[in-house]
Structures are given as structure tokens and as C-alpha cells.
Amino acid sequence: MTASPALAHFSAVPLFQRLAPAERDLVAPHCRVEVHEKGATIFEEGERAVDLAFVVLGRVKMVKAAQARDVILGLFGPGEPIGAVAVFEGRPYPATAVALEPTTVLRVPERELFAVVDAHPEITRRLLQGLMLRQIELTSRLADLTGTVEYRIGRLFLTLAQRVGRREGAAVEIALPLSRRDIADLSATTIETAIRVMSRWGKEGLVTTREGGFAIPDVEALERRVERR
């Protein structure tokens, strides 16, 4: 019997790491693996949520359509579920999921997911804990959308440094290829303003743009700049 292609990706999802091999074998044949190019839509706002998607490789942004501009609700990385609330509540996806970089996604059908959840209460707890953490992050991010533009962009990069940054002494490397449009949407500002701030910060050595991401040469210097705003 040939192993399901999805089975190889189960170990990348913390939620399923406690499943016994036999249990993974039962779920895996119903799952599918999708590979998306940078900028590809994984699912669209308003689409019926029939399965839960987990990021295996790459990063995904959740985008909510608004009148003035699109709003990025969050960024998701390896092991994290996207669209989980919609699946559990049986309603359409509230936002569009877009690949920020080449991304691999594991899709678990609703029926098989709930069968696993029913058999493993600890999975329910872990999923709820993850959703609660996401809600806390969202609440914190909404608070970060107050204040000056420099404060908002600074808080964005400090949050990214904490979540996905690689520390080297006083510096942090952020391997996340955000466009100026992404920075503007995440900071609730215009792309022109985001360009001006990032250009000025690059000249000052506060936040520099690198191929495939950014560098913060001195995190404490960025923190001090944000505190003054």
C-alpha cells in the first residue's frame, strides 16, 4: 500500500504530533497537499469552509476586504492553522488567505478533522489554546494600530522580530518578504507613507531591507524610537 503524500507532512503540524501512526494512517488518505506560488490565493473571503488548512512551509497573510484599503488580519507560519474558526463554526471564510512566499499547505477535511477531535480531547484543547493566542495577538495588534505611523510600523517590526526573527547579538534578521504594500496594510497607512518611513529608516540603519526580508541592526534602538512615539 502506497503511503499518502499528506502523511509526510503530519509531523510539521504540532496539532497532530500526538496521533498514533495508525490514527495518522486513517486521516492522511482524506487529506491533500497543496503547493502555492508567492501571491497565490489559498482560499477566498466568503468561500465555504469545508476543510482546515495548516501551513507546512512558507507564510500566509489573511486579508480582509475593506472600502478604503485591504486590511491584513494576521500572518501565519509553519504548523499554524488558517481559517480554523470558520471551519468550527460552519460559516464561510471571513478573509482571504494569500501566500506571502512559496507555501505548502496541508488541507484536512472537516469530517475527518472532527472525527480526530472527538477521539482526542487534548487536540481540542491545543487547538483552542492556539486560537486564543491568536485572538490575544489580534487584540494586541489592534492596539498597535493607534498612535503615529512610525509607532505602528515600529510595533509591526518589533512583533515580527519576536515571532519570526533570528537574533544575533543586538541584531535581528527577519526572513519574511513583505512588500511595501504589505507593510502599509499591516500598519493601517498608505503605501506612499510606508515607502517614506522605510526609506528613512534604511538610511538611519534602524530597519534595513534585505533580499527575502529585513534586518534590525539594533532592536533596542528601534524600541527606543517606538517609545518616543
CB distance 198 to 116 below 8 Å:
no
> Phi and psi (nearest 5°) for 74?
180, 165
Express each pLDDT in 34-88 by its tens digit.
Answer: 999 999 999 999 999 988 899 999 999 988 877 667 778 888 888 888 888 888 7
Burial of 203 (0-12, 13-18, 19+ CB in 10 A): exposed
- The domains found in the chain, sorted by start residue, are 5-144 (2.60.120.10), 149-227 (1.10.10.10)
Cα 105 to Cα 67: distance, rounded to the nearest angstrom: 30
Task: Name the band, by pLDDT with cuts 50, 70 and 90, for residue 176.
Answer: confident
Question: Would you say residue 215 has pLDDT above 90?
Answer: yes
In the β-sheet with 41-43, what is the strand arrangement from edge to edge?
41-43, 96-99, 60-64, 71-76
pTM of the predicted protein model: 0.71
Cα 146 to Cα 33: distance, rounded to the nearest angstrom: 39
